[in-house]
Amino acid sequence: MQKKRLFIVSNRLPITIEQKENGFSSRPSSGGLVSAITGYFEKGGREVFSETFWAGVPGCTEKTWAIAMNSLAGSPYGYLPIFLNWKKYELYYNGFSNSVLWPLFHYFPSFVDYNSSYYDAWLDVNTIFADKLAPQLRKDDVVWIHDYHLLPLAGLLRKRVPTLTIGFFLHIPFPSYELFRLIPKTWQRSILSGMLGSDLIGFHTIDYATHFLASVEEVLQIEHDGQLIWWENRQVKADAFPIGIDFEKYNHAGEQPGVKTIREQYLGLKGTRKLIFSVDRLDYTKGVANRLKGYEQFLTSFPEYKEKVIFVLVIVPSRDVIIKYAERKKIIDEAVGNINSRLGTVVWQPIIYKYGHLSFEELMALYTACDLALITPLRDGMNLVSKEFVASRKDGRGALVLSEMAGAARELTEALLVNPNDIGEMAASIKTGLEMPEDIQHERLAEMQDRIRRYDVFVWAADFFRELTAVKEEQLEFEIKFLDAVTRVELLDAYAHAGRRMLLLDHDGTLVPFTKFPGAAVPTPEILETLRAIAENPLNEVYIVSGRDSRTLEKWFGGIPVGLIAEHGAKVRHRDGIWETTLIPPAEDWKTKMEKIMQGYVDKCPHTFIERKDFSIAWHYRNADLGDGAVRARELYDDLVRPANRLSLNVLDGHKVIEVRLKGINKGAAISRIIATANFDFVLCIGDDETDEDMFKRLATRPDAFTIKVGNEASFAKYNLHNPAMVQALLQTVSSYAPSPPSSGEEA
């Protein structure tokens, strides 16, 4: 298989340009994303793709970039810098990305600044990304987009280069629909439709994927089948891929001479006391204020630990130009000062606090010197610090207190999991961790290490690409089933050479789109004329096979020479004939009993209604709230099955309808009786829902039958068409099709 090119796209490029005395130099940027992807390519990922490019904002001027390019020789990537106006970047980054999306997606809705200029700039910047990238892309390239800054980019790229393979990964939580719906509807649709431009959408946990799918259902009114969504004639998948770390790097780091030296200094500072360690970026989502309260309560609830424990707290500067972040720093500074002044002594300071960056060696020394890592974010997409700590403890010692609100809690289940808002639980867990026997520490760490060793960052990236390839292959296989140009020619050729033809056509969802109210789904004059033209051909028999009642079908199609099959086969009217039925309804008034059950669901589920027919009764929920309607439909189906069985009735779960009908009625049985009346050598059968599957099954073994399912669902039909408009186009072609005259050697 020919290798493809990969384009990685993120907010920032993975390098930092620095000015030196004699010019500019570059170094790899810090951060989990850069480390993860770079590690993947260093461990063999580079062999998967023919070339790899990285697009993002460089963090310097275009002039500086041009000068610094010489220092990029030997880089594993080709770089595509996206240069932006500084003011627009501020509105996009500190505005919409970090003052709207970040707080909302982390469950801080009161922190959101609903400023429309932020949204406009965010969309403009994503459009700039798309415009810069599109000319560089080929139709079979792979694009991997990262994080919340670029949520609409996949959709924008899909419009410019439709055949791309696009993966998207969200590195923060996706909120529940109840939170997501707080932002303006236009923003909601832009975010979701943009994400659905991808072929595969990755999240850290299945919870986040579930929240996304629920929002897609509610906002875009699109149902999903498990983790699969059908969007703009493509199958899109949402799945969980918990990002890992370079386990071996952190597991062996404690043996490095530089780490050993610094660790000895920390151990000397610690002495015989216990050492607790926390490191976090400055962010209100990290729960540092609550963590300090938990530590304070630990000291007051268990005074025997005073002067016997040290808490090293490191806060890494981040986004402190945003007001909420600056406020958070002030809160932390004051809380640390209060605890140290109230609980400390001349010879003991409860908290050693640093606001600044740590080198890798300092970080590893603290990981491997501490007795307990205290990591309690209020909400975190994953939290790699917890995984780094676990991996670093090659000695099998140390305890981890971890927030259950971190994505990592799903994997690190042997940690002491706490609710970060429960100060008492946090204080008690600190004590439990410090007093945990060494054999239990070793046992718990071993379990967690084994898990994160197996699903490390390399497996994470490889797993994502493997799934992305599989999704794309499934799309291509699925597309083959759709009625393409070649199959269309075969169908028309078979039609032209047939001596006796049968056309079996469903109505709702096939000849006409579904409407809000059933009575509005009237066939258009154009479709009636098309059907008339086909039916007036003496070689053709045309039947409308519908769930509609006979009076409605007679009203709509009585003026053209077609046969009519009503209520899924309960009643039949042949061309120019009268309505016939051989069914004898049960003596009991079964419809009244079924209607009573259905009425309870009409009362419980707004915008649903009941339709009574001669041989069936139906509860429609096409106008109901998507989620509520689906739930109530399942409940009603279950409530109807038992009483229906006692009365020899069938319960049918159709397209936005639950219908109860007499047993023995189905479209398959009805068309079997009709087809048996003549030797047809061409059959065209088109339908859209579960009731039409009975026809497709009956025709499955006939080589002269072309069966077509309208929509994107799996079916017993041989082919699919996307929508009723395409059905109408096909029938118009059939109605006017004039085959080539037979050659002199053929019979006329």
Would you name the residues annotated as active-site residues? 506
Structure token pair of residue 80: 């595509």
Structure token pair of residue 603: 């009362």
Q: How far apart are CA 202 and CA 238, in angstroms?
A: 6
Q: How far apart are CA 240 and CA 202, in angstroms?
A: 6
Q: How far apart are CA 699 and CA 707, in angstroms?
A: 8
388, containing H or E segment: helix 384-392
95 φψ region: left (φ > 0), alpha (ψ -120 to 50), beta (else): alpha
Q: How far apart are CA 404 and CA 402, in angstroms?
A: 6
500 φψ region: left (φ > 0), alpha (ψ -120 to 50), beta (else): beta
Structure token pair of residue 156: 């924008």
CA 14 to each of CA 8, 17, 53, 318, 598: distance values in angstroms, whole numbers, following the listed order: 10, 10, 11, 17, 59
Contact between 654 and 661 under an 8 Å Cβ cutoff? The reply is no
The values of phi and psi at residue 251, to 5°, are -70, -30
Contact between 360 and 386 under an 8 Å Cβ cutoff? The reply is no
Q: Which of 185, 203, 192 is nearest to 232 (CA)?
A: 192
One-letter identity of residue 687: G
Q: Which of 560, 477, 497 is nearest to 523 (CA)?
A: 560
Contact between 487 and 730 under an 8 Å Cβ cutoff? The reply is no
User: Burial, 44: exposed, middle or buried (Cβ in 10 Å; 0-12, 13-18, 19+)?
Assistant: exposed
Long-range pairs, 254-257, Cβ under 8 A, ≥24:
254/364, 254/367, 254/368, 254/392, 254/394, 254/395, 255/394, 256/361, 256/364
| DSSP assignment of 506-529 | --BTTTB---SSGGG-PPPHHHHH
Q: Which of 689, 682, 715 is nearest to 568 (CA)?
A: 689
End-to-end CA distance of the chain: 50
Cα 224 to chain centroid distance, Å, stands at: 10
Structure token pair of residue 484: 């393409």
- Taking only Cα atoms into account, the Rg of the chain, rounded to an integer number of angstroms, comes to 33
28, containing H or E segment: strand 23-28
Q: How far apart are CA 104 and CA 96, in angstroms?
A: 11
Q: What is the DSSP letter of 258?
A: H
| DSSP assignment of 607-675 | T-EEEE-SSEEEEE-TTS-HHHHHHHHHHHHHHHHHHHHHTTEEEEEETTEEEEEETT--HHHHHHHHH
Q: How far apart are CA 624 and CA 37, in angstroms?
A: 45
Contact between 83 and 96 under an 8 Å Cβ cutoff? The reply is no
Q: Which residue has the tokens 């002044």?
A: 341
Structure token pair of residue 443: 């046992």
Neighbours of 461 (CB within 10 A): 23
Q: How far apart are CA 72 and CA 52, in angstroms?
A: 14
469, containing H or E segment: helix 457-481
